[in-house]
Structure 1
Amino acid sequence: MEWPWHEGEPVPGHLPVTQCWGWLFVPDGRCLVVIDAPRRLPMLPGGTVEKQDLDPTQTLHREAHEEAHLVLGSTHYLGYLHDTTSGSYGDINACARVRMAGVVTRIGPSAPDPATGATMLRLLATPHRIVELFGWGEQGRRQADAATRTANSLWGFPVAPESADIQEIPLEGIRP
């Protein structure tokens, strides 16, 4: 990940916010990861800010529900990545990709994402194992640290040991 991480800083007015992704915690300190199985693409829940979304928080709630069938409680803004290289939004040369932390209150039964038709594989892993899985390096580690501090200080979640198991969430879902 080459994009600079701006922890706690508001997104500058000249940068459009194109995406919001979340470090979404369960009470044992692990986070949810979704894997688009057909493309073998692991990712944090979240996605593209759409016109009907009032703000990135609404994007995160909508996308988490669509992709992973999650219900979120509290969320907290962590910062943004300044993307100057993506080119994935047509005429936008630079954009912000917002990162938030959130509390998972329910993980419902697995179902296809209405946007892609794919049913996501859902896993729980520690934030730092997620960084390793994604190959995000130092920028990812700094994000994971910010998310872990937030989950611990705001919601009292423990810092999960880095050796904690990765767990697949059953198709029928769970209540964390």
Structure 2
Amino acid sequence: MAKALKKHDEVGEPYLSAAKPRPAARHTFPFPASAVWAALLDADAWTEWLPITKVTWTSPQPFRIGTTRTVEVGSRGIEEVFFAWQEGRRMAFRFDKSNLPLRAGVEDYVIVDAPGGCELQWTARASAPFPLGWLVNRQLASGIKSGLPKLEALIASDPARFGL
């Protein structure tokens, strides 16, 4: 990470609740929720389905509210703090520090049962001066929407890795 990280606003559920649309992306997987959850816990998997360079969990397992991790996207770095954690079903985090030009940012991943498998529902919200906030929100949503089919293909390509 080339640039120093700056502290962001400490936001959580109320900030996330204001996200529009909610959820911003959905994808139905032909796998049980446990396989999709296993993929979300796999640091290396994130680099295989999103344009992420590296993910490092910086808290020991078991993960829970307060868990931290660092994400690198090229020269961009983000330190995240999880404010919601329901094992096997939901993880939500805020951007604690980053070198992104944002005031605040959150992402929420929810897995629900669906016929023949499960559905991942994703919601995010980022705040920055206009029009930057609008652009960041669009980029986040676009990346996830194009990445979720890749996540499905990744799980299908290596079922044992994800507990299938």
> Given the two structures, how large is their TM-score scaled by the length of structure 1?
0.27
Going by fraction, where is helix more abundant, 1 or 2? 2
TM-score between the two structures when normalised by the length of structure 2: 0.28
